[in-house]
């Protein structure tokens, strides 16, 4: 008897069915699949002559605009796919042959933002991504139009830039860098600066953000770092744009100037790591390797970041690695932040990690289960007591919150602890398991859902 074999659906296998059979299958399914129907319609139009394709694309854009259906979170991906088929057909099939027609259609396409966002839940950003891509395609299409009026094009770009209610036209200037050229960029800058002045005169500060962003992109299009900095100074955002400014200075070969800015910067504590990373990069670019190492070590001693330690070691001779790791272990043992210390020690020294748990278990937060569970699993084999204490801590945190949806995690951690109890020879002053069981029963006796799950897991603590 021949066993049934799994059929592989490959290009070759499907091709062997023949054009007629494939066409029948496609037509049959297109009646039930609107996406397939649209794809076939656009594909057929692309093979037609004259205005067949632009007319079909125009009809598709109008259909989407006229649609009144609301697309919820689960359905919004189908609307995004619908839009993308129109965008892709315009770029792939129409633009190479008729760039002006493609540009005009893409101009209408990006104006669908008001229609589609008002009747969809685009939480995943799929619809927004299609429209943003279409903005880039629009710039590409206009760049392919010969004898275009760059001054008029600048005015059109200005209109798109200032009517971006849904945040998908933000990169319009960069998209039109080639299409505008120097003449168009000059005209666009004039329009933006005139509107900025009007906004400030009429106290319309809320409208200035897209305008200053447009000026920043014009500076980038010209490769004008000083112009980019001047725009941020004008907007009062120079301090907040430190990283962006430095990136452009680096690209322009002005690393020393970028470092001077970093050294003088007044940076909030929560962004210090970002600036320190930039400082290290700049010091390395300038050949100041010892200074870069000093910054890395300072960063490490503050954060105990394993990533930063690896970077520090990578710039040391191999013979010094053991000494530095030993110093890192000593620092971690004494560090004020026990979670960062435990995370580092798990990778460097399990004995030291276990000692930290045994001496500072009260400082560890059982809600940080992703960190503690990883540590507990690493400690199980050689340090069962430390692992038990970590599993207990995570379970206690769930029970203290009385979150019934999380009880299964608490039961899993208690089962893991129970499995290790026989390997614990000395509790070293910590609560033995019998006493811990009694405490859990006494403190959480009324949590019926929890005890039902405990019983299912074979942990009949209430019946002891």
**24's tokens:** 């029948």
* Same-domain status, 112 and 164: no
pLDDT digits (tens, 9 = 90+) for 258-278: 999 999 988 777 778 889 999
Position 432 pLDDT exceeds 60 = yes
Domain assignment present for 341: no
Angstrom distance (rounded) from CA 273 to CA 407: 37
Domain residues for 168? Answer: 149-238
* Same-domain status, 179 and 93: no
* Same-domain status, 186 and 213: yes
Lowest mean pLDDT among 170-179, 350-359, 402-411: 402-411
* Same-domain status, 137 and 192: no
Chain position carrying tokens 């000494």: 323
* Same-domain status, 211 and 102: no
Angstrom distance (rounded) from CA 61 to CA 56: 9
Q: Which of 146, 167, 196 is the last residue of a domain?
A: 146
* Same-domain status, 158 and 130: no
Domain assignment present for 244: no
Domain assignment present for 30: yes
> When comparing pLDDT for 243 and 21, which is higher?
243
* Same-domain status, 116 and 170: no
pLDDT digits (tens, 9 = 90+) for 111-164: 999 899 999 999 999 999 999 999 999 999 999 999 999 999 999 999 999 988
Residue 82 near residue 124 (C-beta atoms within 8 A): no
* Same-domain status, 133 and 159: no
pLDDT digits (tens, 9 = 90+) for 212-223: 999 999 999 999
pLDDT for 3: 53
Query: 33 pLDDT band (50/70/90 cuts)?
Result: low
Position 347 pLDDT exceeds 50 = yes
> When comparing pLDDT for 276 and 14, which is higher?
276
Domain assignment present for 326: no
* Same-domain status, 139 and 23: yes
pLDDT digits (tens, 9 = 90+) for 163-202: 888 889 989 999 999 999 999 999 999 999 999 999 888 8
Whole-number average pLDDT of the chain: 92
Chain position carrying tokens 């760059």: 150
**263's tokens:** 């050294």
- Nearest-Å Rg of the Cα atoms of the chain is 32
pLDDT for 1: 44
Angstrom distance (rounded) from CA 257 to CA 222: 20
* Same-domain status, 170 and 101: no
Domain assignment present for 303: no
Number of domains in the chain: 3
Domain assignment present for 314: no
- 0.85 exceeded by the pTM? no
* Same-domain status, 112 and 168: no
- What string of DSSP letters covers 218-266? HHHHHT-HHHHHHHHHHHT-TTTTHHHHHHHHHHTT-HHHHHHHHHH--
Tell me what the mean pLDDT of segment 316-320 comes to. Answer: 96
Q: Which of 203, 223, 238 is the last residue of a domain?
A: 238
* Same-domain status, 198 and 121: no
Query: 351 pLDDT band (50/70/90 cuts)?
Result: very high
Residue 328 near residue 309 (C-beta atoms within 8 A): yes
Domain assignment present for 217: yes
Domain assignment present for 86: yes
Residue 440 near residue 399 (C-beta atoms within 8 A): yes
Any long-range contacts for 422-427 (C-beta under 8 Å, 24+ apart)? 423/384, 424/384, 424/385, 424/388, 426/385, 427/385
pLDDT for 271: 75
Q: Which of 102, 123, 146 is the last residue of a domain?
A: 146
């Amino acid at each position: 008897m021949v066993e049934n074999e799994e059929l592989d659906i490959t290009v070759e296998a499907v091709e062997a069915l023949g054009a007629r059979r494939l066409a029948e299958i496609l037509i049959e399914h297109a009646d039930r699949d609107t996406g397939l129907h649209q794809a076939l319609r656009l594909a057929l139009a692309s093979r037609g002559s004259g205005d067949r394709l632009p007319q079909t694309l125009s009809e598709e854009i109008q259909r989407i605009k006229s649609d009144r259906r609301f697309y919820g979170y689960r359905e919004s991906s189908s609307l995004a796919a619908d839009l993308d088929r129109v965008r892709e057909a315009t770029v792939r099939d129409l633009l190479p042959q008729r760039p002006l027609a493609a540009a005009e259609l893409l101009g209408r396409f990006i104006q669908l933002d008001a229609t589609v966002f008002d009747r969809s839940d685009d939480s995943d950003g799929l619809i927004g991504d299609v429209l943003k891509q279409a903005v880039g395609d629009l710039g590409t299409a206009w760049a392919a139009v010969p004898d275009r009026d760059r001054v008029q094009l600048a005015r059109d770009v200005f209109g798109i830039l200032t009517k971006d209610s849904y945040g998908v036209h933000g990169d319009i200037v960069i998209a039109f860098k080639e299409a505008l050229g120097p003449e168009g960029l000059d005209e666009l800058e004039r329009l933006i600066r005139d509107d900025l002045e009007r906004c400030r005169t009429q106290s319309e500060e809320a409208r200035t953000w897209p305008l200053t962003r447009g000026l920043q992109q014009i500076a980038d299009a010209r490769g004008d770092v000083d112009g980019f900095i001047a725009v941020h100074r004008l907007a009062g955002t120079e301090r907040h744009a430190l990283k962006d400014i430095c990136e452009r200075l680096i690209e322009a070969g002005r690393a020393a100037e970028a470092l001077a800015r970093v050294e003088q910067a007044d940076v909030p504590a929560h962004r210090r790591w970002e600036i320190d990373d930039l400082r290290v990069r700049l010091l390395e670019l300038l050949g100041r390797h010892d200074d870069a190492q000093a910054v890395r070590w300072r960063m490490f001693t503050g954060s105990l970041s394993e990533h930063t330690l690896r970077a520090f070691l990578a710039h040391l001779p191999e013979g010094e690695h053991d000494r530095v790791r030993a110093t890192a272990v000593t620092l971690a043992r004494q560090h004020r932040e026990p979670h960062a210390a435990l995370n580092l020690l798990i990778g460097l020294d399990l004995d030291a990690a276990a000692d930290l748990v045994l001496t500072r278990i009260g400082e560890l937060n059982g809600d940080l289960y992703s960190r503690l569970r990883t540590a507990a699993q690493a400690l199980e084999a050689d340090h069962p007591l430390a692992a038990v204490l970590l599993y207990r801590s995570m379970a206690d945190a769930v029970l203290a919150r009385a979150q019934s949806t999380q009880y299964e995690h608490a039961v899993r951690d208690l089962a893991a602890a129970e499995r290790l109890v026989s390997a614990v020879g000395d509790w070293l002053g910590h609560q033995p398991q019998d006493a811990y069981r009694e405490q859990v029963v006494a403190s959480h006796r009324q949590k019926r859902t929890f005890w039902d799950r405990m019983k299912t897991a074979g942990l009949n603590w209430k019946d002891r």
